[in-house]
Structure 1
Amino acid sequence: MNELYTRVSSTTKRALYQFMKDHEISLLNYHFDYFFQFCIQENNIQVLSHHFSNHKIEGLTVVDGLGTSFSYERDNPKVKQNFTLCHELGHFILKHDGSYFTESIDNQENLVEREADIFSAVVLMPDIVLLSKIYYSCDTFHQVQNSLEVSKQALFYRLSDFLREYYSDNEGEATQAIESYIEGKNSFIFHLFHDIREQIIEEFNQFKPSLINQVKQKVRKVGFTTSLEYPDLLNQDNWKAIKASSINIKTWLVYNKGKSIAYVWDKEKFSDEEARNKAELQLLLM
């Protein structure tokens, strides 16, 4: 398999699968926008639209003193806009060196643009999601295409690259299976997925929910959580990393009659006293 594809695909899945585990993303209801919105909010990335009459520039990434911004051609079909947005995110997540990236028909063979294309395809159509929809849910090609909001061409090439990674010695068989799948005959591609399903699942299950990320997201949503929900909060070795994840997060511990609760709160939503009172109430109810 192409070394470039394998390397970028692996890097992409490390970031994406960790996110999916931390946020308990449903495999059958997956959509790229969950990950995309999380990334742009976490990194204060601005997303804009642009328009050029010749449609020559599909997407732009600009990094300057004001931060990072992505833009996409507003007149493109939604499926193309989706690919472009993930492509531009790829430049950021893959840490490409530069302050200006242009996605256009003139630079498709550029190395960083090819890497961003691979990143986009994997985020839009992750391995584990393709397995879930095609093998376990028995979705048709059209159903997968519509639910993931990708073009027919994008899904075809994604399946080709995906199966080629596992069946590098028999690319013709993989291509035939995809073509049959498009025509509504899924038995051939079902057989291919059956033989590799354990490898795909094992790769996904290597990732475990991160305590820091889970606590951070919980506090972001409701402003408060305790060790009753996340027992590892009682280990104060975790506090430093949790507090370092956001300037608004604070942690502490309360005791009563041999029992204790560690709690974490958003100082902009609750005062120290309010947070302590909430923790003490939960402690009394134990």
Structure 2
Amino acid sequence: MKDHEISLLNYHFDYFFQFCIQENNIQVLSHHFSNHKIEGLTVVDGLGTSFSYERDNPKVKQNFTLCHELGHFILKHDGSYFAESIDNQENLVEREANIFSAVVLMPDIVLLSKIYYSCDTFHQVQNSLEVSKQALFYRLSDFLREYYSDNEGEATQAIESYIEGKNSFIFHLFHDIREQIIEEFNQFKPSLINQVKQKVRKVGFTTSLEYPDLLNQDNWKAIKASSINIKTWLVYNKGKSIAYVWDKEKFSDEEAKNKAELQLLLM
């Protein structure tokens, strides 16, 4: 979310999912079994990695399955073949993938933003995140259990009231833990490489005035490796310097240098 400057209220798992499959060249396919016994498959072989999902399942179930399969990949589960079925839900690896899926679909900070700050109803949260009623119920249960382990009954009652359209109980629970959730979210610092890459993708140019760590030339190699179109350099004058990054398809070397020198003069 931070790397791609995604609004918490507009968050949708597909931002992260699409980024992961594109970065890792993962193929996504649909399949169909008449008994719907196989919800999802992950196959890793010499041809690469592929995920598949039951095409006749509801969209919300497909979403959960896709994130579940991504979980096997991101969590580096040992194996080259994983099948999500109704028969193996208690398997440790499958449970880990389920937890991963739930968190990607419904991150802590997003739930806080929607339920506490935006005052969205249960159904509004469910619809905006494209998850099932059951998935959201269990996610909220697991989430609140983490903070209210000594009073699970109160948390369950709050969720049930929330489903019925009564927000005050769950609002109170979120109020007491909101600072912890925000602090945990703020501990994550966006990647310099991703920030610069996103900025250059949008406008074609950026400098160390916006990202001071660009002055550290040790970062340049990784930045240039992130895209074949990205170039980096540095200009200096009278003890002042600016490092700059540009998209060579949008600006020539001379144009980028002129832009950097202009900013240097204005310092």
Distance 1:131 1:168, change over 3 A: same
Cα deviation digits, residues 51-102 of structure 1 (max 9, x gap): 2222111111111222211111111111111111111111111111111111
Q: How far is the alpha carbon of 1:220 from its aligned partner?
A: 3.7
Cα deviation digits, residues 223-255 of structure 1 (max 9, x gap): 432223323212323223323444553311123
Q: Which moved more, 1:87-96 or 1:256-265?
A: 256-265
How many residues get paired?
267
In 2, the alpha carbon distance for the partners of 1:48 and 1:136 equals 37
Q: How far is the alpha carbon of 1:210 from its aligned partner?
A: 2.2
Cα deviation digits, residues 11-48 of structure 1 (max 9, x gap): xxxxxxxxx22222211111111111111112121211
In 1, the alpha carbon distance for the partners of 2:202 and 2:83 equals 35
In 2, the alpha carbon distance for the partners of 1:151 and 1:220 equals 35
Distance 1:112 1:267, change over 3 A: farther
1:90 aligned residue? 71
Q: Which moved more, 1:217-226 or 1:125-134?
A: 217-226
Q: How far is the alpha carbon of 1:131 from its aligned partner?
A: 1.0
Q: Which moved more, 1:163-172 or 1:46-55?
A: 46-55
Distance 1:192 1:235, change over 3 A: same
1:116 aligned residue? 97
RMSD: 2.1
Distance 1:65 1:218, change over 3 A: farther
Distance 1:278 1:50, change over 3 A: farther
Cα deviation digits, residues 161-212 of structure 1 (max 9, x gap): 1111111111111111111111111111111111111111111111122222
Distance 1:130 1:221, change over 3 A: same
Q: How far is the alpha carbon of 1:266 from its aligned partner?
A: 3.9
Cα deviation digits, residues 97-128 of structure 1 (max 9, x gap): 11111111121111111111000001111111
In 1, the alpha carbon distance for the partners of 2:193 and 2:35 equals 46
Structure 2 SS opposite 1:22: coil
TM-score (norm 2): 0.91
Matches within 5 A, 1:56-135: 56-135=37-116
Q: How far is the alpha carbon of 1:274 from its aligned partner?
A: 5.1
Q: Does 1:164 align with 2:139?
A: no
Percent of matched pairs sharing the same residue: 99
Question: What runs of 5+ residues in structure 2 fail to find an aligned partner?
Answer: none
Q: Which moved more, 1:135-144 or 1:221-230?
A: 221-230
Distance 1:271 1:100, change over 3 A: farther
User: Relative contact order, CA 8 A, sep 6+: which one is greater?
Assistant: 1
